[in-house]
Chain A
Amino acid sequence: MDITPATAATPPPLPGGSQPAPAEQSKAAARAGDRIFLALSRGSGILLLVIMAAIAVFLTVRAASALSHNEGNFFTTFEWNANANPPVFGIAVLAFGTIVSSLIAMLIAVPVAIGIALFISHYAPRKLAAPLSYVIDLLAAVPSIVYGLWGALFLVPHLTGLYGWLNDYLGWTGIFAYHDGAARSLFTIGILLAIMILPIVTSVSREVFLQAPKMHEEAALALGATRWEVIRMSVLPFGRSGIISASMLGLGRALGETMAVATVLSPSFEIGKSLLDPGGGTFAQNIASSFKESGEIGKDALIASGLVLFVLTLLVNGAARMIIARRKEYTA
């Protein structure tokens, strides 16, 4: 989600370009070195741009070809029959599933992650904080297929109890209604994604909280603030933009998560009334699940859906940047 070809393409400033060299000889050598380095960095920058452009053109052309064959509406069709004749497919279910599961993940993960990060940075004794941060960082390195297997084999069978409880107390809302069956729903996906993005959100927030200026924490303490009040007055205001960045990193991962979702979800092309209904799908999961059995147009259709996911991720990133830019007033 952080691909910025523009920066990669600019050649880095030349080392030693204007530095006085000790002797004439080494000056000439340095100039030759400079020239080679300049050529290399410029060349690789241009190469990168060309590759990026080629990929973009390739994807767009293929996607456009699939769209030209599509008999349904790409945005509103509740169906994915890209290999049928004529092909009919639409991303409505995928977009809904991707956004809803990621939102659930954020709602669960962000508050918990902030809590853990604050605990590590401001509550836990040092002896506990160091191993705890280490474990959290380690969790971020677990491959997503492992989370997927754990989700399918452990989480799904163990969530039925929670589902029943939600149904008893919140079933009347409709979105938490549950009738028997395996817990392979968007809600379960949301919980799994929450667990998966927890480490990254936690460790980024923790780093930010640790940098909160001591002088403002002391200002709060000296006014007679309790530890929580110190956090509210000095740490959280300082960390706000960091929390947003951390959440966006997590959201980016949740939106694009593939293997874990594909392993746990039982995909279907309908939008259930309840979040607890089995079925649904996400962009990434749909690509992973249907790529192999797809023909020419089927693959192109998947590429089109992938481009939509890409745009979605870009939008999320842009929104986060705007929020952070508008909150620049923190001047320590």
Chain B
Amino acid sequence: MAKRIDVSGLSAFYGAHKAIDDISMTVEPRSVTAFIGPSGCGKSTFLRTLNRMHEVTPGGRVEGKVLLDDENLYGPGVDPVSVRRTVGMVFQRPNPFPTMSIYENVVAGVRLNGGRLRKAELDAVVEKSLKGANLWKEVKDRLNKPGAGLSGGQQQRLCIARAIAVEPQVLLMDEPCSALDPISTLAIEDLIGELKERFTIVIVTHNMQQAARVSDRTAFFNLAGVGQPGKLVEIDDTERIFSNPSVQATEDYISGRFG
């Protein structure tokens, strides 16, 4: 299921403003990679170039290559819609569809991708995905209640279930725990540990402990200055980044001596 991501020479723009400059990195399949860095350095922007969501923003434009195994996501004739079906995304604020039930939320993407499935098949997908998102026990008796009626942490796990229900190759998460309490955060971190058996995971976080806890590799992004585009400073094994990074700026950022 999981695929390797190979980024080379990638820059992204908002109109004339260059938000990230010339980023290259490799993300191994079945691993968790954390993106850290100060606010505004382009972590979200970069994440959104990995499933072609960046170009949805008015004026959004991308240069460079993103290879998923061997296929360039930005190659000619590649349909962004099909890219987003293989690269799933979880957002900062939980965003289940408010008029849909829990059940319908989980199968929303499956209905798009697979067209018509039989009821029994859908039921199986719902159970598998909710179990995968560690939510099954809590909601199995109220699958037909609105998804918006869950707590914030449950909603976020519902969004994860919705994303993994379509069996993507890669799962992108943009600060998935920043709107959640510590217990829900822990639940999602545990979940990430389980999900990496099946998916390639990239997570943006402002929480250093979280990056240290969940990720195998960590990438540090930084801004050269105000108005300058964000750059990748270094990417390395998480242990190394947090104990003995090769760039001084990384150490300063992690130890809180920054700016």
Which A residues fall within an 8 A CB radius of B?
126, 215-216, 218-226, 229, 233-234, 237-238, 329-332
Pair B95/A223 contact, Cβ less than 8 Å? no
* Bound CA–CA A220/B83 (angstroms): 13
Tell me which of A219, A221, A223, A329 contacts B99 (CB under 8 A).
Answer: A329
Q: Which listed residue (A126, A216, A224) contacts B97, Cβ 8 A?
A: A216
Q: Which residue of B lies closest to A215 (CB)?
A: B95
* Interface status of B132 (Cβ within 8 A of chain A): no
Asked whether A223 and B98 contact (CB < 8 A) given A126-B58, A218-B53, the answer is no
Q: Across the interface, do B112 and A225 meet the contact criterion of CB distance under 8 Å?
A: yes
Count B-side interface residues using an 8 Å CB cutoff.
29
Proximity bits, B237-253, A CB within 8 Å = 1, else 0: 00000000000000000
Chain B, residues 75-115, CB within 8 Å of chain A (1/0): the string is 00000011111001101010111111000000011001100
7 cross-chain pairs, A with B, having the tightest CB-CB distances, nearest first: A224-B85, A223-B109, A222-B89, A237-B99, A224-B84, A215-B95, A219-B95
From B53, B88, B97, contact of A233 by CB (8 A): B97
How far, in angstroms, from A237 to B162 measured CA to CA in the complex? Answer: 18
Whether B99 and A330, one on each chain, are in contact in the complex, defined by CB atoms closer than 8 angstroms, is yes
Q: Are A224 and B109 in contact (CB under 8 A)?
A: yes
| Interfacial chain A residues near B99, Cβ < 8 Å | 237-238, 329-330
- Which of A215, A224, A237, A238 is within 8 Å of B82, CB to CB? A224
A331 touches B84 (CB 8 A): no
Chain B residue at minimum C-beta to C-beta distance from A229: B112
Contact yes or no, A216 B95, CB < 8 A: yes
- Other than A219-B95, A220-B108, give 17 A-B pairs with Cβ distance below 8 A: A215-B95, A218-B53, A219-B159, A222-B53, A222-B89, A223-B162, A224-B81, A224-B112, A224-B113, A224-B166, A225-B81, A226-B81, A226-B112, A233-B97, A233-B108, A330-B99, A331-B98
- Please name all residues of chain B whose beta carbon is closer than 8 Å to the beta carbon of A225 when the two chains form the complex: 81, 109, 112
When distances are taken between beta carbons in the complex, the residues of chain A under 8 Å from B226 are none
A223 touches B163 (CB 8 A): yes
Q: Give the complex CA separation of A224 and B81 in angstroms.
A: 5
Give the distance in Å from the alpha carbon of A313 to the alpha carbon of B162 in the complex.
44
A224 to B56, CA, bound (A): 12
Nearest Cβ distance between residue B161 and chain A, in whole angstroms? 12
| B51 on the A face (CB < 8 A) | yes
Q: How far is the CA of A103 from the CA of B258 in the complex (A)?
A: 67
**In the complex, residue of chain A having the shortest beta-carbon distance to the beta carbon of B56:** A221
B45: shortest Cβ distance to chain A, in Å?
A: 14
Q: Which residues of B contact A219 (CB under 8 A)?
A: 91, 95-97, 159, 162
Residue of A nearest to B52 (CB): A221
* Docked complex Cα distance between A126 and B58 (Å): 10
B4 CB to nearest A CB, Å: 21
- Interchain Cβ contacts under 8 Å between A and B, 12 examples: A218-B95, A219-B95, A219-B159, A221-B53, A222-B88, A223-B112, A223-B163, A224-B84, A224-B166, A226-B81, A237-B97, A238-B99
State the CA gap A121–B99 with chains docked (Å): 21
Q: CB-CB contacts of B143-174 with A at 8 A, as 1s and 0s?
A: 00010100000000001001100100000000
Give the complex CA separation of A20 and B103 in angstroms.
55
Nearest chain-B residue to A217 (Cβ)?
B56
Shortest CB-to-CB span from A235 to chain B, Å, is 11
**Chain B residues with CB below 8 A from A220, complex form:** 97, 108
**B163 near A222: Cβ-Cβ < 8 Å:** yes
Bound Cα distance from A160 to B181, whole angstroms: 69
Contacts of B146 in A (CB 8 A): 329, 331
Q: How far is the CB of A173 from chain B (nearest CB, A)?
A: 33
Contacts of B95 in A (CB 8 A): 215-216, 218-219
